[in-house]
């Protein structure tokens, strides 16, 4: 699911899961290419998971946690080892950052709203 369709909190949690996968595999000297091959996914997909751009499925988690010698529960605990307040703080920061990216630009006959890389045109009288 694309990031812009996730709630901000879900996006933060997905990024934390990817960061935990990257950190644990790095600590154990396991390269992204090895995890990708083991899980049967492309290297680009592995990098997207580690960057929090996509959500891994359960089969992926089973395969990589077996290779890393940890349980899925341990991986999830590592991803969420910060308290709920930290998650709420990260969510607020991300929302604030997203709000600052939204700007109004007057052009020609109407205004355009830019959100990330999506342009939404607003027509006069509309």
* Residue 60's CATH number: 1.10.260.40
Q: Classify residue 73: in a domain, yes or no.
A: yes
Percent of the chain with pLDDT over 90: 50
Q: How far is CA 37 from the centre of its chain?
A: 21
Q: How far is CA 108 from the centre of its chain?
A: 36
From the CB of residue 109, how many other CB atoms can be counted at a distance below 10 Å?
10
Q: Classify residue 22: in a domain, yes or no.
A: yes
- So what's the pLDDT on residue 80? 84
Structural domains in the chain (count): 1
- So what's the pLDDT on residue 54? 92
- So what's the pLDDT on residue 24? 93
d(CA 52, CA 90): 14
Q: Classify residue 27: in a domain, yes or no.
A: yes
One-character DSSP codes across 68-102: HT--HHHHHHHHT-S-HHHHHHHHHHHHHHHHHH-
Q: Cβ(19)–Cβ(50) under 8 Å?
A: yes
User: In terms of Cα–Cα distance, which of 59, 88, 64 is closest to 75?
Assistant: 64
- So what's the pLDDT on residue 93? 72
Q: Classify residue 119: in a domain, yes or no.
A: no
Q: Classify residue 112: in a domain, yes or no.
A: no
- So what's the pLDDT on residue 109? 47
pLDDT digits (tens, 9 = 90+) for 6-58: 788 888 889 999 999 999 999 999 999 999 999 999 999 999 999 999 999 99
Give me the mean pLDDT over the 66-85 stretch: 83
- So what's the pLDDT on residue 39? 93
Q: Classify residue 46: in a domain, yes or no.
A: yes
Q: Classify residue 65: in a domain, yes or no.
A: yes
pTM for the model: 0.63
Q: Classify residue 114: in a domain, yes or no.
A: no
For residue 26, what are the domain limits?
Answer: 3-81
- So what's the pLDDT on residue 110? 53
């Amino acid at each position: 699911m694309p990031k812009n369709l996730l709630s901000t909190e879900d996006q933060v949690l997905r990024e934390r899961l990817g960061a935990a996968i990257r950190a644990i595999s790095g600590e154990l000297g396991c390269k992204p290419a090895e995890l990708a091959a083991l899980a049967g996914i492309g290297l680009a997909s592995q990098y997207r998971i580690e960057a929090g751009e996509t959500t891994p499925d359960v089969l992926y988690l089973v395969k990589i946690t077996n290779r890393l010698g940890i349980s899925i529960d341990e991986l999830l605990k590592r991803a969420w080892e910060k308290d709920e307040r930290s998650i709420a703080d990260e969510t607020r920061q991300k929302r604030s950052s997203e709000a600052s990216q939204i700007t109004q630009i007057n052009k020609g006959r109407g205004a355009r709203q830019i959100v990330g890389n999506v342009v939404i045109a607003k027509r006069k009288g509309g």
